Amino acid sequence: MKISLNWIGDFVDLSGVSAEKVSNLLSLHTAEVEGIEVYGEAIQDVVVGHVVACGQHPDAEKLSVTEVDFGGEENVAVVCGAPNVRVGLKIAFAPVGSSLPGDLKIKKAKLRGQESRGMICSERELEMSEEHDGIMELPEDAPIGVPLIDYLELRDHILELDNKSLTHRPDLWGHYGFARELSALLQRTLKPLPIDVAWPEAKSAWSVQRTDAEGCAVYSALEIELGGAPRNSNPFISRRLLAVGQRLVNDVVDLSNYVMLEIGQPTHAFDASTISGKAIEVRAAQEGESIVTLDGVDRALIPEDLVIADAKQAIALAGVMGGKHTEVSDTTERIVLEAAAFHATRVRRTAHRLALRSEASSRFEKTLDPAYAAEATARFCHLLLQDRPEAKILGVPSISAEPVADSIQLPLDPVKTSKLLGISLREEEMVSMLEGIGFSPVKKGEGYLVKVPSWRSTKDVTLPIDLVEEVGRMFGYDRIVPAALEAPVEVPVQQPQRLLARKLVNRLVLAHAAHETQSYSFLDCAWAERLGRKISDFERLDNPVLAEVSLIRRDPIPSLLEQAAGNLNEFGQGRLCEVAKGYEPQAGIEPLERRWLGVVEWGEKSLPKQGQESLFGRMRGLGEDLMRSVGVAKEQLSIQPQNAELTAPDWAHPVQTLHWSLGGQPLGWSTRVHPQLLRELDFGAHDCSILLFDLEALSVATQDRHPSFETPSRFPGIKVDVALALPDDKSYAEVEIALKKAGGKLLDSLELFDVYTGEGMADGQRSLAFRCLLRAADRTLSDKEEQKFLRKVDFAAIELGGNLRS
Amino acid sequence: MRDRLEALRRDGLAAVSESQDLDTLYGVESRLLGRTGALTAELKGLGKLSPEDRPVVGKLANEIKQALQGALDERRTAIESAELAADLAGEGLDPSLPGSNAPKGGVHPVLAIARELEDLFSSMGYVVWDGPEIETEVHNFDALNIPPDHPAREGHDTIWMDVEEGSARRCLRTHTSPVQVRALREFGAPLRVIAPGRVFRQEAQDATHDHTFHQMEGLVVDKGVGVPHMLHAMNSLLEGVFGRKLETRLRPGFFPFVEPGFELDARCPFCKDGCKVCKGSTWIELMPGGLVHPNVLIAAGLDPEEYSGFAFGLGLSRIAMLRYGINDIRWMMGGDLRFLEQFQA
């Protein structure tokens, strides 16, 4: 919202106070000022001029050639096309070198062969009104050469307020409210709003009925005879409105806007002759009802909408926009002036539904003081009669209103107030601060009972704590001095999954060159099918940002796969990880929340399909290292290939899937991504593997795990390499178990170093080569013990259907 | 035998002096003096000589052995010195060749800041807690003193869940503030807690808006807590984020769950007299906060006469954008490695 400091000056003396100071005071005590604009700057080069000669242009019928005195060293010749230019006229003159609104620069020119050195301006060219039929005519006594903005006192400072900082303050939607704040902050007198009107004796012929009383707390209607058709507003009103960015219409509508910008209360003028009957009803819209609004659009209404209706039809959309049919026109003779308090939420909903937010609706949304309606009616009449003495007020306003509520009285505890704010203020100071903004404190017991003014009572100030805010902001929050908490510090409780997640991410990033990412929680509905799931397996959005993207992910893998796919063009390989929450619906209760650690790695399809160089094998190694980093040795883990008892995740390759568990507690999976899914996601020549851990389960299973130290043996071990020829349907896991059994306690470590098929191997056989380390804690092993181990390995190989090759 | 020994001496010394490197020299040494070397063989053969010849030839053999050993040692020292000199001369070495590619991983910039702040606040006794992203209407709105007909509850601001008919409404939490009441119900008072996490708004995406972003809530409830304590906590936070003390100022702000409510501005950390970030004002609005509204304390089961508290909210995504100069919020959730790569662990 824009406020004019000249306008504020009507109510509080701002002399000697700079615009910057006003802006700063308001920002620190009231509401955020976003900027200061100097109004009139755009026309500061324009001066008062005098037409000393005027003649017909020799070659153009509609142009005149004039001589203008503008206080310069010599008079200049100016070509002018306005019909009202004549000798002796005082004009607004833009000399050569000056600039006008719209970045127009005035230069020496030749018009149809005649030299022209300057421009005589219309009001529209000066952005002072919409008037463009002729040039602006100034009074005869206007002093030649004086800047126009000084002569007309146009110079003004316009503050741009952040509307969001005003949402809770229905009193700040007009200039008067800001004047009140500034009078308190500057400790200068607040002048009353001039609203005196000589009301006629006669009763009004109009009746008002609030059928929908919930929607409208007050409705006032007043008929006025204009005493002449609507015309342009006087220059004062026009300039004020233009300065704060309000479009001009005609003097009646402009005045309605003027009052709104002054008090914050919208009013509406109907053309009285267009209303059927003299009874006005405020009611809910009927099913199927519609109205053509001022902007010419036919709008279908629903019963939540509130309308103003005459005997026949809806004539306005309450608080939002008037009806086209009853609009004030060039020929209007009598108006009915409406001033009302409409229901904030209903006005907001209607305005939003119809995409019709107006100056009026945005004010009604704030729950205006019901007392404003009468004030605005009086102010309108006061100003109208000043400008149109010929106008006649036909009766006193017809008003229908809820009973006036008792004013709110709140206790003020000065000691508590000082303590909460951390300031020291004497009681009298607090009282005078509150009085300055219209509150009335009365001493009661230890503290005070404070009467809240009606313009703050509608929703802003309703509890004792609200008074603390008033005292604090009047004192100035910027004067509060910070202080550390005094209470003793305890060791804070920690969420174990959070700590665990942090450790794992650190490990991933530092040891495994993973990049931690964040991906959206939403999934496109197509994912349900891709994962072979039903839509009902997901939590769903009622109003998604994008219609199709309406599922909440169960785990981070789909979104990580999407991110991986997005990187393929630039990065042939990569590793992303994310700590994320996933949700699964549960009938009748809140959804089940799981915390996941997801890792995805992609690379070229040309990599080996299995083994340590494969994506699948690397992911297993990565998982084992992550577990080691949280105190779990590889030997303690159970990492099982897919079997009938274990369900594989939706995206997993049917064979290359490993189920991870620890002490019977399932932890998650490492898998190769199902190739069909990769095809659908356009992975092309890339393959992808995944690790997914349930952090909750992991945190339970790994609680208080620390490595326990074992003293290394003082005795050297024996390295023995063995190669076994085995049927290729024997899995590595089976062979490893058999070898460990053969080695018994003496087998210190076992490492697969070669897998071989091909020449020298029988069909259906492969060779697995291991490096074994045998070692005992209490002795150096003998050749005999090595031989015994080899015999056992040979025996194990035979049991597996193969033999020891070497 | 004498002749053979002399030949050994002659050939041996020649071989030693011809050796150009340590490997060759070692070969020569083992050919002559090794276990199966020529001279060793001769020495073994001394026993077969007559007693008269034995001392004479033996002496000669030992002389030759010492001469050869001496020559070998001398030659080894010479070769070693030459090699060292050659190494130090560095011929053919280009010290400007690039280094090996160390593995490059990185943490997400928003979470990097969140973790720094978790550490900072933990050290001041704050619990780090989080709440569900799918939140009940009660926690997201009711308990936070947000009126039933508040516009924030409507579909143009809040993303609502599709729930079974008759069940309580749920939404994607629009702020981290619901953790205030959740944490108070979990731990009671006194309490210090921060709650970082993702939040959601019904918002069209552009350079400064996303429907998903990160916030961090802070809450302290105790007896006798007031505005100065809040200001201190906020200042500490900013010092943590920007690495130095920033001048700050409080001004009025409105949020239904605090009273009084504030906005904290800080002197622009990027300029002295106005820049693009602070829009020329030298102040930037960084953090809303306020004293916990009595209705929120009541919703959390506390007596507002006994306890008071403060709460603040930090836009983690925005702070990350400011700190790292990120020009478009959509980078944050895009997973583009060209973005993520720029942030190290």
Q: Which of residues 139-168 of A touch B (CB under 8 A)?
A: 165, 167-168
CA A173, distance to chain mean position in Å, is 22
Partners of B167 on chain A (C-beta within 8 Å) are: 588
Q: Above pLDDT 70, what percent of chain A?
A: 100
Distance from B40 to chain A by nearest Cα, in Å?
34
Query: Which residue of A lies nearest to B133 if distances are taken between CA atoms?
Result: A581
pLDDT in tens, B120-157: 999 999 999 999 999 999 999 999 999 998 989 988 89
Partners of A539 on chain B (C-beta within 8 Å) are: 134, 161
Query: Which residue of B lies nearest to A164 if distances are taken between CA atoms?
Result: B254
Q: Is A338 on the interface with B (CB under 8 A)?
A: no
Q: Do you find a cis peptide bond into B260, omega within 30 degrees of 0?
A: yes
Interface test with B, best of A164, A542, A586, A686 (most B CBs within 10 A): A542
Band of pLDDT at residue A759, cut at 50, 70 and 90: confident
* pLDDT given for residue A325 in this prediction: 95
Minimum-distance CB partner of A540 among B124, B162, B227: B162
Rounded to the nearest integer, the mean pLDDT of chain B is 92
Partners of B293 on chain A (C-beta within 8 Å) are: 465
Partners of A575 on chain B (C-beta within 8 Å) are: 105
Buried b (16+ CB within 10 A) or exposed e, B133-142: bbbbbebbbb
Distance from B94 to chain A by nearest Cα, in Å?
29
Q: Is A712 on the interface with B (CB under 8 A)?
A: no
Band of pLDDT at residue A761, cut at 50, 70 and 90: confident
Question: What single DSSP character describes residue B266?
Answer: E
Query: Which residue of A lies nearest to B212 if distances are taken between CA atoms?
Result: A520
Give dist(CA B133, CA B116) in Å, integer.
Answer: 22
Query: Which residue of B lies nearest to A561 if distances are taken between CA atoms?
Result: B335
Q: Is A303 on the interface with B (CB under 8 A)?
A: no
Q: Is A421 on the interface with B (CB under 8 A)?
A: yes
Q: Name residue, tokens 């008003």.
A: A399
Q: Is A466 on the interface with B (CB under 8 A)?
A: yes
Distance from A370 to chain B by nearest Cα, in Å?
19
Which of A288-292, A439-443, A545-549, B28-32 comes out lowest in average pLDDT? B28-32
Band of pLDDT at residue A126, cut at 50, 70 and 90: confident
Band of pLDDT at residue A203, cut at 50, 70 and 90: confident
Q: Tell me whether residues B203 and A489 touch, CB distance under 8 A.
A: no
Distance from B165 to chain A by nearest Cα, in Å?
10
The H or E element that residue B311 is part of is strand B308-315
Which of A193-197, A491-495, B300-304, B321-325 comes out lowest in average pLDDT? A491-495
A279-284: strand order across its sheet: A207-210, A279-284, A306-309, A314-317, A321-322
Distance from B24 to chain A by nearest Cα, in Å?
32
Which of A275-279, B55-59, B80-84, B197-201 comes out lowest in average pLDDT? B55-59
Q: Is A591 on the interface with B (CB under 8 A)?
A: yes
Band of pLDDT at residue B1, cut at 50, 70 and 90: confident
Record the tokens describing residue B276, joined without a space: 């693009």
Q: Tell me whether residues A32 and B251 touch, CB distance under 8 A.
A: yes
Q: Do you find a cis peptide bond into B190, omega within 30 degrees of 0?
A: yes
Rounded to the nearest integer, the mean pLDDT of chain A is 93
Partners of B233 on chain A (C-beta within 8 Å) are: 485
CA A671, distance to chain mean position in Å, is 40
Q: Tell me whether residues B225 and A512 touch, CB distance under 8 A.
A: no
Query: Which residue of A lies nearest to B170 if distances are taken between CA atoms?
Result: A590
* pLDDT given for residue A675 in this prediction: 94
Give dist(CA A714, CA A732) in Å, integer.
Answer: 32
Minimum-distance CB partner of B122 among A468, A492, A512: A492
Q: Tell me whether residues A165 and B224 touch, CB distance under 8 A.
A: no
Give dist(CA A630, CA A500) in Å, integer.
Answer: 8
Interface test with B, best of A181, A469, A540 (most B CBs within 10 A): A469
Distance from B233 to chain A by nearest Cα, in Å?
7
Interface test with B, best of A458, A512, A517, A579 (most B CBs within 10 A): A517
Q: Tell me whether residues A516 and B106 touch, CB distance under 8 A.
A: yes
Q: Tell me whether residues B251 and A477 touch, CB distance under 8 A.
A: yes
* pLDDT given for residue A133 in this prediction: 86
Distance from B126 to chain A by nearest Cα, in Å?
6
* pLDDT given for residue A95 in this prediction: 94
CA A118, distance to chain mean position in Å, is 48
Band of pLDDT at residue A588, cut at 50, 70 and 90: confident
Give dist(CA B339, CA B345) in Å, integer.
Answer: 14
Q: Tell me whether residues B340 and A515 touch, CB distance under 8 A.
A: yes
Q: Name residue, tokens 């943490």.
A: B107
Distance from B235 to chain A by nearest Cα, in Å?
8
Q: Tell me whether residues B227 and A508 touch, CB distance under 8 A.
A: no
* pLDDT given for residue A703 in this prediction: 86
Which of A339-348, A390-399, A697-706, B242-251 comes out lowest in average pLDDT? A697-706
Give dist(CA B304, CA A537) in Å, integer.
Answer: 43
Query: Which residue of B lies nearest to A355 if distances are taken between CA atoms?
Result: B156
Give dist(CA A520, CA A339) in Å, integer.
Answer: 49
Q: Tell me whether residues A345 and B149 touch, CB distance under 8 A.
A: yes
* pLDDT given for residue A39 in this prediction: 87
Cβ-based neighbour number of residue B258 at 10 Å? 28
Q: Is A797 on the interface with B (CB under 8 A)?
A: no
Query: Which residue of B lies nearest to A491 if distances are taken between CA atoms?
Result: B125
Alpha helix stretches (DSSP H) within chain B: 2-18, 22-33, 38-44, 53-89, 109-123, 137-140, 178-187, 227-242, 294-299, 316-324, 337-340
Query: Which residue of B lies nearest to A423 if distances are taken between CA atoms?
Result: B228
Band of pLDDT at residue A596, cut at 50, 70 and 90: very high
pTM of the model: 0.87
Q: Tell me whether residues B161 and A539 touch, CB distance under 8 A.
A: yes
Query: Which residue of B lies nearest to A469 if distances are taken between CA atoms?
Result: B260
* pLDDT given for residue B46 in this prediction: 81
Could you tell me which of B183, B175, B167 has the C-alpha nearest to residue B135? B175
Is B3 a residue whose pLDDT tops 90? no
* pLDDT given for residue B344 in this prediction: 84
Band of pLDDT at residue A704, cut at 50, 70 and 90: confident
Is A123 a residue whose pLDDT tops 90? no
Q: Tell me whether residues B337 and A420 touch, CB distance under 8 A.
A: no
* pLDDT given for residue B160 in this prediction: 97
Q: Is A482 on the interface with B (CB under 8 A)?
A: yes
Partners of B332 on chain A (C-beta within 8 Å) are: 518
Q: Is A28 on the interface with B (CB under 8 A)?
A: yes
Band of pLDDT at residue A107, cut at 50, 70 and 90: very high
Give the mean pLDDT of A202-207: 89
Partners of A468 on chain B (C-beta within 8 Å) are: 259-260, 291
Q: Tell me whether residues B259 and A593 touch, CB distance under 8 A.
A: no
- For every residue of A175-222, DSSP letters joined together read HHHHHHHHHHHHT-PPPPP-------SSPPS-EEEESSGGGEEEEEEE
Q: Tell me whether residues B130 and A495 touch, CB distance under 8 A.
A: yes
Band of pLDDT at residue A405, cut at 50, 70 and 90: confident
Minimum-distance CB partner of B337 among A473, A477, A570: A570
Cβ-based neighbour number of residue A614 at 10 Å? 18
Q: Which of residues 59-78 of A touch B (CB under 8 A)?
A: none
